[in-house]
Amino acid sequence: VREAGEPVDETELAIEGALRPTSLAEFVGQQKVRGQMQLLLDAARIQQRPADHILLSGPPGLGKTTLAMIVAHESGRPLRLSSGPAIQHAGDLAALLSSLTPGEVLFIDEIHRMARSAEEMLYLAMEDFRIDIMVGKGAGATSIPLDLAPFTLVGATTRSGLLPNPLRDRFGFTAHLEFYEPEELERVIERSAAMLGVSLPPAARAEIARRSRGTPRIANRLLRRVRDYLVVHGRAGADIEAVDAALDLYDVDRIGLDRLDRAVLDALVRRFRGGPVGLGTLAVAVGEEADTIESVVEPYLVRIGFMGRTPRGRIAMPEAYAHLGVPAAESVLG
Ligand code: ADP
């Protein structure tokens, strides 16, 4: 999934890992979800059983993987990481599930992209900690039941609407992560700046937060770009000018929109005269996958009131015209 800043490389991933909070107390924002998860984990601890299965949904970079790691860490259990695209056959899932140790936390990212046949196997596994393995084909086929060690599944998805109901129903707890408020992002940045040893006055912190698109991952990434800028220019600390200079280089505008966000808005406003336009058409116009537009670009544009969703398609809101500097009347006449 595309991000603001530079392409993800190994070092970036390592730093991202180092900045991850390891406890619910350190996890910034999402207060309601945190409270609910704390209760879930406490109950499991008191009863000495694995926690209920957890489904986390929301756009990329809002903390789903981090929460899965926290579940494992807080309950003192090992964590196994997998993802929907890696589970292309029921056999892949069977191998994964049968190798879990008792109480292990299994994280499946992008769970909506798992193979259908695996989904069905997962229903039984989640409910009864058991799977049926099919051997042979045709009339001679038989199924062999296999007991599994009890585990906690943490599923993450950017598109919870794509999950079949029977799967969704088997999660004991479902949470939708929301974009973060600027004050919350400031706290994320403050914490990360301290860890990275970057000196950042409150105004500079606020400026990075404003440009972070409501997303902690982007906040951390922009902070690293500011740090690079300070290193290269031999500066000890960042002021607003340094933040602006660093971030302008990366095509992140004053309200945090990146190149793709602006391309989508621009197509919507200029080319389709404000819409309504179908998602597929919009995706083709900007040369991007419809799925990316729907799960990454659109949620934020809707959240900040730039884009609306109607039964006939996507429409541009007045704020979008203002941001692009296009008179709204132009589209209405078109
Ligand atoms: P997702 O799995 O939803 O794509 P991640 O859990 O990988 O997102 O989070 C991306 C980065 O953002 C991580 O480096 C993590 O440290 C940081 N992050 C996410 N949510 C929070 C939070 N609530 N508080 C502090 N840091 C966060």
Condensed to tens digits (0 to 9), the pLDDT of residues 163-194 reads 999 999 999 999 999 999 999 999 999 999 99
Taking the model in full, what pTM does it have?
0.92
Q: List, by residue number, the catalytic residues.
A: 64-65, 109, 158, 217
By the 8 A CB rule, do 35 and 122 touch? no
With a threshold of 0.90, tell me whether the complex ipTM lies above it.
yes
Tens digits of per-residue pLDDT, 140-165? 899 999 999 999 999 999 998 899 99
- Residue whose structure tokens are 């900040």: 304
- Report pLDDT for 2: 43
Binding site members for ATP: 19-20, 61, 64-66, 127-129, 170, 180, 217
Separation of 28 CA from ligand 1 center, angstroms?
9
Nearest CA to ligand 1 atom 11: 217
Q: How confident is the model at residue 329 (pLDDT cuts 50, 70, 90)?
A: low
Q: How confident is the model at residue 82 (pLDDT cuts 50, 70, 90)?
A: very high
Nearest CA to ligand 1 atom 12: 217
Which ligand 1 atom minimizes the distance to the CA of 66?
Answer: 6
In this structure, the number of other CB atoms found within 10 A of the CB of residue 95 comes to 11
Q: What percent of the chain has pLDDT over 70?
A: 96
Nearest CA to ligand 1 atom 16: 20
Whether 184 is in the pocket of ligand 1, judged by its Cβ within 6 Å, is no
Separation of alpha carbons 170 and 33, rounded Å: 18
- Averaged over 255-270, what is the pLDDT? 96
Q: Residue 121: which of 151, 157, 97 has the closest Cα?
A: 97
- Report pLDDT for 233: 95
